Amino acid sequence: MSAGTNHEHLYWGVDCGSTQIKVIACDGDGKVVHKRIGRTLFPLLEHVRNTISAGGSGPSPLTEDLLGVKENHTLAATGYGRNHIEFASGKLTEISAHFLGAQQLLQLDGPYTIVDIGGQDSKVIEVHDGRVGQFVINRKCAAGTGAFIEELAHRLEVPLSDLTRLARLHDKDMTLNSYCTVFSGQEVIKILMNGERLENLIHALYASVVQRILEMTSITTQNVVFSGGVMNFNPILIDLFDEKLPDHTTFLVEDAQYCGAYGAALFARGLAEKQAENFSQSEVNVRLAT
Ligand code: ADP
């Protein structure tokens, strides 16, 4: 997704996730012109408004009082906190948003499965004939989510940005006995006390994320598409999925953390077009009636 300027009507997608708020603006051709990100903090609406308005040199779609959306802007919301975004013209589930984003970015013809790993949840979504089919969501426990990786990185005192590099230096495949953050935390300390290399341990943590996702459901499509912040920032996960799914073809969507926000922006574009269509249709009806 590349950025540019000089557009008329802008379509905004706001993905209010459990850990981060992602904002995308695209033009009528679906080209991304603004990207913004903020943390999901409270009061939520205040942080959402700030994330939408701030950042970059681009315009804010919000009115001066930040309560509404300006003319020439249409905004749609997705994500865990979408229902709180009262000034959105439309709302869509994260499932639909990731599907719309991935579909536009990759334009895959046949069936595919989207694996979206977020800060506190993970989803496996099947797409058939250009429509969402079955999907599974894990929102109940941190295993197989960004929270699991972050918690253990914190315990190990390793910056998130170093994790993939260290995991690639592993020289042994290990399996953790538990997916649970609390038990894994204890296990990790025990393993390190027994003298195991940190690199092997981090690799095992990543392997457990992949295992957890693959246990959510069986992946039946040839093509598998990765989306969300965790896949975006932990590229070793793609290698590990590739090892576990040797007969599948995998894709990482561009700017994977923004895929849901981009899908929401495309949805906003669809809403605006529909409104315009309805308007011209009613105009036609009026003309016919007089
Ligand atoms: P959500 O929609 O649930 O908020 P995202 O798809 O935005 O989740 O992903 C957020 C997760 O991505 C974070 O919890 C973290 O694990 C990971 N992440 C985000 N930014 C970074 C970063 N700069 N470095 C490493 N990991 C990151």
CA 286 to chain centre: 44
Instruction: Convert the pLDDT of each residue in 55-95 to its tens digit.
Output: 667 889 999 888 999 999 999 999 999 999 999 999 999 99
Strand, helix or coil for residue 275 = helix
Instruction: Convert the pLDDT of each residue in 4-54 to its tens digit.
Output: 444 589 999 999 999 999 999 999 999 999 999 999 999 999 999 999 998
Same domain, 216 and 131: yes
- Which domain CATH number covers 187? 3.30.420.40
What is the residue range of 45's domain? 10-91+272-289
Closest among 245, 262, 199 to 37, alpha carbons compared:
262
Number of compact structural domains in the chain: 2
pTM for this one? 0.93
Same domain, 200 and 280: no
H/E segment holding residue 272: helix 259-289
Q: How far from 4 is each of 90, 91, 285, CA to CA, in Å?
A: 25, 26, 39
Strand partners, 16: 21
Residue type at 260 in one-letter notation: G
**DSSP 8-state code for residue 59:** P
Same domain, 123 and 152: yes
Same domain, 111 and 250: yes
Ligand 1 mean position to 19 CA, how many Å? 7
Ligand 1 mean position to 289 CA, how many Å? 55
**Per-residue model confidence (pLDDT) at position 56:** 64
Residue nearest to atom 1 of ligand 1 (CA): 17
Note the helical H segments in 4-75: 44-53
Ligand 1 mean position to 17 CA, how many Å? 9
Residue nearest to atom 15 of ligand 1 (CA): 146
